[in-house]
Chains A and B, each alone.
Chain A
Amino acid sequence: DVKVTQSSRYLVKRTGEKVFLECVQDMDHENMFWYRQDPGLGLRLIYFSYDVKMKEKGDIPEGYSVSREKKERFSLILESASTNQTSMYLCASSFVGRGQYFGPGTRLTVT
């Protein structure tokens, strides 16, 4: 079974802090993705990566950055957390044509 893990299920941070969300997949997938999920807005793509050291902006990249130094790991960075970044963050990985496999999510609260 494909396994995608995220470093934390719940996280509480203060405004202005730098926040790191880690995602690791164990199936040698090329593609990895970060989404945020908010009530009434569905899933919104923040960044994705098709290979190591490669990144592409999604629909809502402002306020975020990413890092992919190794194939299995894709990190999402909030440079200076703000209250409007309080959300559920979902990581996913995929092969072409086989769908995405999601991690359990990290519920981030910024106070």
Chain B
Amino acid sequence: GDSVTQMEGPVTLSEEAFLTINCTYTATGYPSLFWYVQYPGEGLQLLLKATKADDKGSNKGFEATYRKETTSFHLEKGSVQVSDSAVYFCAQQNTGNQFYFGTGTSLTVIP
């Protein structure tokens, strides 16, 4: 069935380090793909999205490219800040309008 798999955390980085959080998906059709961020004690916020192959979603310095050939949607940021510390969720919305979330990756950025 459809699913999303993302790298397990926790991830700890120093400020200004490069971030990659891996995400792969399985789907029968061509889903839309999303990254969400959850700050402590808050709900999930939509960070970025891509709706078709080769689309690049970007927001707040984060980027992810929809790679159909590798069924991946890896999240990247060139220089992380302490304020980026949060839990990041990869998700897909399939052609049947069903959502599937990864289990989340906790990121801690230390000064």
Contacts and interface: CB of A to CB of B under 8 A. Distances in A.
Contact of A99 (B43, B49, B104): B49
A104 B46 contact: no
B22 interface: no
Contact of A43 (B45, B46, B101): B101
B43 A102 contact: yes
Contacts of B36: 102
Q: Secondary structure at chain A's binding surface: helix, strand, loop or mixed?
A: strand
Interface of A: 4, 31, 33, 41-43, 45, 50, 90, 92, 94, 96-105, 107
Chain B binding surface SS class? strand
Contacts of B101: 42-43
A42 B103 contact: yes
B51 interface: yes
Contacts of B42: 104-105
Interface string B35-48: 01000011111100
B43 A96 contact: no
B102 to A, nearest CB: 7
B54 to A, nearest CB: 17
A31 B97 contact: yes
13 contacts: A42-B101, A42-B103, A97-B32, A97-B93, A98-B32, A99-B32, A99-B93, A100-B34, A100-B46, A100-B99, A102-B44, A102-B45, A105-B43
B88 interface: no
